[in-house]
Amino acid sequence: MNFTIEYQNTPFLKTCRVKKDINRLNYRCEMLLTRNSHAIRNKRVLDLASHDGLFTYACLKLGAQYVVGVEPRSNLVSDANENLKSLGCTETQYKFVIDDAFDYLSEVEEEQFDTILCFGFFYHIKNQTELLDLITDIKPRYLILDTFVEDFQLPEAELHGIRRRETKKIAGYMVFYHEDQDFDMASFGSSNLVGMPNKSLVESLLLDYGFKFKQINWNDEDVIDRGEIKDYKKQTRVSYIAETVDS
Ligand SMILES: C[S@@+](CC[C@H](N)C(=O)[O-])C[C@H]1O[C@@H](n2cnc3c(N)ncnc32)[C@H](O)[C@@H]1O
């Protein structure tokens, strides 16, 4: 595969704390951004949990008008600033803010961004509905969501056990964990309790928040796994391009 954005020879291979195998980074960029470039080109993009700037950089390469990255870890924001500078990105086209995504989102004005990226973040929080409340208040045209999902299967008997008379159907469930915040890819802040939703809960939430969405198909023939993207192939990690439906 010829990748439009190639992470080989970029500083992200050093600074990225998430799985940084080159094939994985290139495919994540290809599947999440390049193949959805209509949601990036000439758009004002908000990159939540921007880490070391790897996807902010990709958005600029794909022709975004402007990108804001939000990341609470100041060491990662320093890396992001250095990385984009060393790669020659135009400084007036991007900004990294040291902030918690929830705090930042609550200050954003309606329609300030066309596209919001939520990559590798939805399972590092416990208040997914609050996040979606804040995102939908902004009324972005697009939300691109990339997240691990819980694949733990509740036995049918358990599902019946928790069903109540007024319950029409089970929308999904979430498993809670405590994370070790010493890791730079983990949750940040006063609570280290996080919830990982299962796939049907992610989809129920998108529907409930009024999005029309398409799951990104990592099982396309031309997406070759050499072991680095098997989570996407097995759908323990899933991604969606969601669009706000005009009311
Ligand atoms: C698994 S990494 C994902 C990085 C990148 N977006 C990606 O998909 O590869 C999770 C990132 O979320 C950041 N993060 C954790 N809590 C956050 C919060 N409350 N607000 C914004 N970012 C947060 C972490 O510091 C880390 O950079």
Which residues does a 6 A CB cutoff place in the pocket of ligand 1? Answer: 18, 48-49, 51, 70-73, 76, 100-101, 119-121, 124, 184-185, 187-189
User: Residue 28 is inside which H or E element, if any?
Assistant: helix 22-32
Distance 98 CA to ligand 1 centre (A): 12
Q: For residue 143, what are its two tokens?
A: 């939300």
Tell me whether residue 3 is in a domain.
Answer: no
> 174-178 and 237-244: which strand pairing?
unpaired
Which stretches within 139-197 are classed as H helix?
156-162
Distance 65 CA to ligand 1 centre (A): 23
Number of domains the chain contains: 1
Tell me whether residue 85 is in a domain.
Answer: yes
Q: Are 57 and 89 in contact (CB under 8 A)?
A: yes
Look up the CATH number of the domain holding residue 33. Answer: 3.40.50.150
Q: Which domain holds residue 217?
A: 12-244
Tell me whether residue 5 is in a domain.
Answer: no
Tell me whether residue 4 is in a domain.
Answer: no
Tell me whether residue 6 is in a domain.
Answer: no
pLDDT digits (tens), the chain, 247 positions = 889 999 999 999 999 999 889 999 999 999 999 999 999 999 999 999 999 999 999 999 999 999 999 999 999 999 999 999 999 999 999 999 999 999 999 999 999 999 999 999 999 999 999 999 999 999 999 999 999 999 988 888 888 888 888 988 889 999 999 999 999 999 999 899 999 999 999 999 999 999 999 999 999 999 999 999 999 999 999 999 999 987 6
